[in-house]
Structure formats: C-alpha cells, structure tokens
Amino acid sequence: MGDIQGAFDKIGLTLERAIARGVEAGALQVMADAKLLVPKVTGTLQRSITYTPPEEVNGVVESTVGTNVVYGPMVEFGSGKRQPKPYLSRSLEQNINTIRALIAESIRTEFPDD
C-alpha cells in the first residue's frame, strides 16, 4: 500500500510543479504586457512592475504581478478627479486564455500521451 501512496504523492508533486511552471510563464506574460499598457511619464511605474514566483497557498498555485510604487493603485483604479487607467487588470484579462494554455501545455509536457 505504501508503494501506491508513494506513486500518487509523486504524481501530485509532479503535477504541482507543472502547474507552477505554467503559472510562472503566465505571470511573466502578464507582467510584460502590463509594462506595455501602463501610462508612461517618467517610466518609474513601468520599471517597478514585477511578479512573485509561484507558490502553493491553501491548495492553489498562485503568483502575483504588481508594483510597489505608491501611486500604482491610483493609476490602475483612478482617484478623485483622475480617471482609472487599468494596466494590470487589462493585462490579466487579455492574457487569461494564454495563461490557461500555458498551464495546460506544461501539464501535457510533464505527462505526455504515450
């Protein structure tokens, strides 16, 4: 019975790694497109856009794309009289199918049809 459990554990770890590779590829794509979409004045906001490597949190593999520049959320969501100029959410929306495809391809690569 231990051998079977070990085999399933190995498959689970392999699947999680495959998903993480796809999530990371997707995050890199979202980051690249956000840098193209962000309004540019000095370029500081554009240069600040980064991503976190994927990690498993409560059974979900996730990565975050964002900025640590204090006015980043004001550009994304607007403030007062300033209209929102979404660059992060737009990038995610336009790449959602690409992200799904990248994750699926990573899984297919890890578990090829024989």
Does any domain span residue 114? no
pTM of the predicted protein model:
0.87
List of the chain residues with pLDDT < 50: none
Tokens encoding 67: 């900025």
Burial of 1 (0-12, 13-18, 19+ CB in 10 A): exposed
How many domains would you assign to the chain? 1
Taking the alpha carbons at both ends of the chain, their separation in whole angstroms is: 26
Range of the domain at 47: 2-109
Task: Tell me what pLDDT residue 6 has.
Answer: 57
The pLDDT of residue 114 is 61
In a domain, 44, yes or no: yes
Please report whether residue 34 resides in a domain.
Answer: yes
User: Dihedral of CA 111/28/91/79: which sign?
Assistant: positive
Scanning 57-87, the segments in alpha helix (DSSP H) are 72-77
What integer pLDDT is reported at residue 111 of this predicted model?
Answer: 78
User: Is the Cβ–Cβ distance between 33 and 95 less than 8 Å?
Assistant: yes
